[in-house]
């Protein structure tokens, strides 16, 4: 992978999208100072200090969109969780692609596609990981959040962490592009923290409540509601 460092930027995702043409496949744009980080569903991603990760991977797997490309967030999510495990913590995946430790969010992923007509110019896979965030800063976030240094009790070297993530990402990337989510389904399910639990999933402007029963071979969440109706949810947010 090619690493591309920017001192200060509003959002590495926004930068990657705006410079998609000049940036080669498998380039990673990263910064120590992200001033207007964005999250899924129009949320913000707070800046938690320069010793955390704010990065976007640029991918150009094909010139047309394929179904499995939308599961790349889940592939990256599993990679991040596996790297965190190397530090002795037990990360859990909250479908579709958040990572929690002790029920507190430590990492989030935002994927965005850039298209021109019906051609796919590229995919931006942005991820933020709290590696060395101070507790006072995390306490100001509206949802429970944690950081790897807090969980393990020592400072985390972000270059080492990022290198581990990018190496692991490359290992099975080509296979993932061919096989899609079914390549990682079992490993993903082992880390999923909501299966067999009652959940409320926000899908656009409606909420679906019921028992989360399964994650399908294409990464969708299956929820059975009180009327025994099965919902297969491809996009949403567990509340
Ligand atoms: C989420 O949990 O909602 C996704 C958060 C994604 C944050 C990362 S930080 C680097 C990249 N640039 C952004 O503006 N967002 C992503």
The 10s digit of each residue's pLDDT in 150-191 is 999 999 999 999 999 999 999 999 999 999 999 999 999 999
Helical H segments across the chain, by residue range:
12-18, 72-85, 135-139, 148-152, 158-171, 173-179, 185-191
What's the CATH fold of domain 2-190?
BirA Bifunctional Protein; domain 2 (3.30.930)
Nearest ligand 1 atom to the CA of 12 is 12
Q: How far is the CA of 45 from the centre of ligand 1 (A)?
A: 6
- Answer yes or no: are the C-beta atoms of 196 and 204 closer than 8 Å: no
Distance (Å, whole) CA 34 – CA 18: 16
Instruction: Determine which residue's CA is closest to atom 15 belonging to ligand 1.
Output: 38
Pocket (CB within 6 angstroms of ligand 1)? 11-13, 37-40, 43, 45, 54-56, 98, 108-110, 126-128
Mark the ranges of the chain whose per-residue pLDDT is less than 50. none
pLDDT at residue number 41: 86
Instruction: Determine which residue's CA is closest to atom 16 belonging to ligand 1.
Output: 126
pTM for the predicted model, two decimal places: 0.97
What confidence tens digit (pLDDT) does each residue in 54-82 have? Answer: 999 999 999 999 999 999 999 999 999 99
Q: How far is the CA of 225 from the centre of ligand 1 (A)?
A: 31
Distance (Å, whole) CA 211 – CA 188: 18
Distance (Å, whole) CA 229 – CA 102: 31
Is the preceding peptide bond at 209 cis, omega within 30 degrees of 0?
A: no
In CATH terms, 198-238 corresponds, of 3.40.50, 2.30.30, 2.60.40, 1.10.260, to 2.30.30
The token duo for 123 is: 């995919």
- Each domain of the chain, given as residue ranges in start order, spans 2-190, 198-238
């Amino acid at each position: 992978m090619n690493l591309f460092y920017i001192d200060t930027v509003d959002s590495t995702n926004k930068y990657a999208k705006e410079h998609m043409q000049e940036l080669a496949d498998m380039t990673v744009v990263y910064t120590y100072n992200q001033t207007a980080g964005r999250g899924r569903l129009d949320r913000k991603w707070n800046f938690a200090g320069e010793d955390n990760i704010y990065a976007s991977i640029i991918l150009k797997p094909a010139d047309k969109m394929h179904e499995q490309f939308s599961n790349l967030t889940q592939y990256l999510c599993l990679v991040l969780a596996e790297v965190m495990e190397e530090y002795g913590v037990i990360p859990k995946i909250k479908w579709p692609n958040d990572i929690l430790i002790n029920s507190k969010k430590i990492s989030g992923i935002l994927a965005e596609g850039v298209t021109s007509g019906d051609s796919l110019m590229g995919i931006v896979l942005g991820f933020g990981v709290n590696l060395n965030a101070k507790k006072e800063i995390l306490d100001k976030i509206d949802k429970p959040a944690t950081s790897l240094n807090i969980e393990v009790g020592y400072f985390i070297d972000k270059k080492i962490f990022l290198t581990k993530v990018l190496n692991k990402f490359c290992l099975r990337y080509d296979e993932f592009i061919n096989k899609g989510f079914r390549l990682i389904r079992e490993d993903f399910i082992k880390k999923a923290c909501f299966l067999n639990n009652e959940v409320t999933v926000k899908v656009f402007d409606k909420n679906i409540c019921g028992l989360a029963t399964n994650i399908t071979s294409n990464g969708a969440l299956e929820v059975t509601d009180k009327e025994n109706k099965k919902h297969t949810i491809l996009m949403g947010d567990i509340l």
